[in-house]
Each structure stands twice: as structure tokens, then as C-alpha cells.
């Protein structure tokens, strides 16, 4: 694969509040036209679309606080709420917060000079004063369209939101990874109230929605998505087998959480990391519960090549892997709370 939300020390909690901010996104095209900019999703430069190569694999090409100026940042403000659109390949977006620190990133790491399609843009909603009440994080959505990439490198990116200020953390000091999640996927440029799987299948959507974690025996390596020994994923949806996990077809074990069956698949990625992916057997737009058992179950697998309880959790993010789709689709994180309890 590829490649953010803050927490408390003992009850670390982050939330993406349900949005009433969609209206702030309306009129972005008019705003761009008035300033001589291209309509959305037309490509043509390094910040809008996919005309040139050089996508980074999980890294940031720069950093910015939401609402800031710069290439690829287009802001519309309405009633004290700003919606900023980022069409950059990769940029760290870190809105000021009273407590938790987190980073959002369009993270189009797989886009190259040969990629075709309308591109990808991330919309981040912030308050005009650029501060947030304790335990909240910005609402965000992703609108994208890519044509299928080469079979050996089909993923164009992993736009995500990542925890910044409480990791790395020793696994044996964690008692729960409590998750409260609601997301949707829809056809077109607008957010959808629910996911119409059949409509998305008709658009040949290839994607997944997943938590992505990196672990290592070394705390510093665990923070590095490229150098960490293990990548552990929890998939809440796989749209089709184009977006299959490493080791697909060879299930290892099963685990039922909150009434949903998850199946573990394992395999190595191009970096030589062992990727362990827990895949839900049905679409899970809503999930509330502790996902930590999906990690502790790995301790019981035979052999020394699997994660152990004395490893460190160095990185945790939530997002969607963008493979390909016929026309524009929009991913929306309506609610996301992660509580790392010791």
C-alpha cells in the first residue's frame, strides 16, 4: 500500500464532527472562475490534477495550516466557516488546535507523468479563527477520478488524516483502540448521505476504506511508514477485487468484532514490509468498538515474523486508497473518533 487525529494521554479522543459545512463548498467553481482559475478537476499544473510526475510515497511536499495561501489552495468562507480545497500531490495540512495535533494529506503518492484522469482534491473545513474546541478535528472529503494504472502499481494515493502528537506508543501499554466511525462514498462531486454500492460498482470503482498502522520494535522506525517492519490495516470496505489486500485468496484467521466478521490476509509489499490486513466481510459505514483485539490476535500467530506485544505503534491514519473509477466520486468522513486507552 502506501500510506491525520489526536488523542488523550489515557483517553485520547479525536472527532471529526458531523458536517453542516457542505454549503461552504458551493460556489468554489464560481470563485475559481472569478479569479481566472480552472474549473475543478481539469488538471494542468502540479497542484491541480495530474499532468506531471513526482508524487511522493507518503511524504509531504510542504506543510500549511488550513486557510493558508499557496499553490493549489482555494478557500471559500461562509458564516465564519472556511472550506479550503487542496489539489496538491502531497502537503501536510495541520490546522491549529487547542489540544490534539493531526495532519491531513491528499497524499497522491502513486501519481506519475503517465497517470490519466481528472485527479484528486481534498476539501478541509475549518473555523475562521483557525482554532477548534478540545477533542475536535476538521471535517474533510475527497473527490477524485483516475483511470486504471499499471497492474504492478495500481494505487494512485491514500488521502488521509493522521495522529501526530501521541505516538509512538509501546503496544503493551495500550489497553484499547476505541473507534467511532461513520463515512460514506458517493458518485459525483457532492457528499452522499449513504453509500450506494450498486451505483459505485456501475462506475467500476476500485478503492478501499481503511485504518492504516505501522509497527516496529524500534520506536523511531515505527514512525516511518517506509522503514517500519509491519503495516497493519483494518479495512471497512473493499469495493472490488482490483483493490484487494496483499495475500488475497489465502486467509489466515478470522475474528468477529461488534457483530462483523474480519478476515486476516498477509503478504509483503514492494518495500519488503509485512502487510497484515483485516478485511470486513461486508461494508461498514458505521463502526463503534475496540479494534485492539485485531492487533493482539497477531501476537498469537506462529513464527517470529509477526508483530509482538513489545513492539511500538508509530503511525495511525484513516483514509481511502484511490485506485481507479470511471467518473468522479466523493469520499466523506462524517465522524471519526479514535481513543487510545492505556
pLDDT in tens, 140-178: 999 999 999 999 999 999 999 998 888 999 999 999 999
Question: Do residues 82 and 127 touch, judged by C-beta distance below 8 A?
Answer: yes
Task: Write the pLDDT tens digit of every residue in 7-26.
Answer: 333 333 344 443 444 343 43
Q: What is the pLDDT of residue 34?
A: 37
Task: Write the pLDDT tens digit of every residue in 28-82.
Answer: 343 333 333 344 444 333 443 333 233 333 333 444 443 333 346 788 888 878 8
Question: Do residues 58 and 157 touch, judged by C-beta distance below 8 A?
Answer: no
* pLDDT band (50, 70, 90) for residue 97: low
Q: What is the pLDDT of residue 283?
A: 98
Q: Which residues pair with 338 in a beta bridge?
A: 179
* pLDDT band (50, 70, 90) for residue 286: very high
Q: What is the pLDDT of residue 138?
A: 74
Q: What is the mean pLDDT of residues 273-295?
A: 98
* pLDDT band (50, 70, 90) for residue 336: confident
- The least confident of 26-30, 129-133, 301-305 is 26-30
Q: What is the mean pLDDT of residues 205-230?
A: 98
Q: What is the pLDDT of residue 339?
A: 83
Q: What is the pLDDT of residue 131?
A: 58
Whether the pTM exceeds 0.85: the reply is no
Q: Residue 268: pLDDT above 50?
A: yes
CA 174, 233, 146, 55 torsion-angle sign:
positive
Amino acid at each position: 500500500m502506501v500510506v491525520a487525529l489526536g488523542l488523550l494521554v489515557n483517553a485520547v479522543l479525536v472527532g471529526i464532527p458531523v458536517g453542516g459545512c457542505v454549503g461552504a463548498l458551493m460556489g468554489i467553481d464560481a470563485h475559481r472562475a472569478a479569479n481566472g482559475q480552472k474549473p475543478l478537476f481539469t488538471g494542468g499544473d502540479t497542484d491541480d490534477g495530474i499532468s506531471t510526475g513526482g508524487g511522493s510515497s507518503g511524504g509531504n511536499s510542504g506543510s500549511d495550516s488550513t486557510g493558508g495561501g499557496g499553490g493549489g489552495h482555494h478557500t471559500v468562507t461562509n458564516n465564519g466557516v472556511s472550506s479550503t480545497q487542496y489539489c496538491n500531490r502531497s502537503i501536510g495540512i495541520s490546522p491549529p488546535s487547542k489540544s490534539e495535533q493531526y495532519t491531513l494529506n491528499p497524499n497522491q503518492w502513486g501519481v506519475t507523468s503517465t497517470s490519466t484522469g481528472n485527479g484528486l482534491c481534498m476539501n478541509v473545513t475549518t473555523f475562521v479563527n483557525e482554532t477548534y474546541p478540545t477533542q475536535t478535528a476538521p471535517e474533510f472529503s475527497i473527490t477524485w477520478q483516475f483511470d486504471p494504472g499499471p497492474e504492478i502499481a495500481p494505487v494512485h494515493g491514500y488521502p488521509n488524516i493522521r495522529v501526530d502528537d501521541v505516538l509512538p506508543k509501546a503496544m503493551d501499554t495500550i489497553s484499547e483502540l476505541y473507534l467511532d466511525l461513520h463515512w460514506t462514498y458517493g458518485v459525483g462531486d457532492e457528499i452522499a448521505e449513504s453509500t450506494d454500492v450498486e451505483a459505485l460498482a456501475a462506475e467500476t470503482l476500485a478503492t478501499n476504506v481503511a485504518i492504516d498502522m505501522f509497527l516496529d520494535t524500534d520506536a523511531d522506525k515505527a514512525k516511518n511508514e517506509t522503514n517500519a517492519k509491519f503495516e497493519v490495516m483494518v479495512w471497512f470496505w473493499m469495493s472490488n477485487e482490483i483493490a484487494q489486500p496483499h495475500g488475497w485468496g489465502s486467509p489466515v484467521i478470522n475474528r468477529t468484532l461488534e457483530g462483523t466478521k474480519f478476515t486476516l490476509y498477509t503478504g509483503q509489499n514492494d518495500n519488503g514490509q509485512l502487510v497484515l490486513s483485516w478485511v470486513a466481510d461486508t461494508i461498514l459505514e458505521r463502526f463503534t468498538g475496540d479494534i485492539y483485539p485485531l492487533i493482539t490476535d497477531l501476537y498469537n500467530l506462529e513464527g517470529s515474523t509477526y508483530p509482538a506485544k513489545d513492539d511500538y505503534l508509530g503511525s495511525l491514519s484513516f483514509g481511502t486508497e484511490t485506485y481507479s473509477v470511471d467518473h468522479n466520486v466523493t469520499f466523506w468522513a462524517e465522524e471519526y473518533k479514535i481513543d487510545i486507552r492505556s
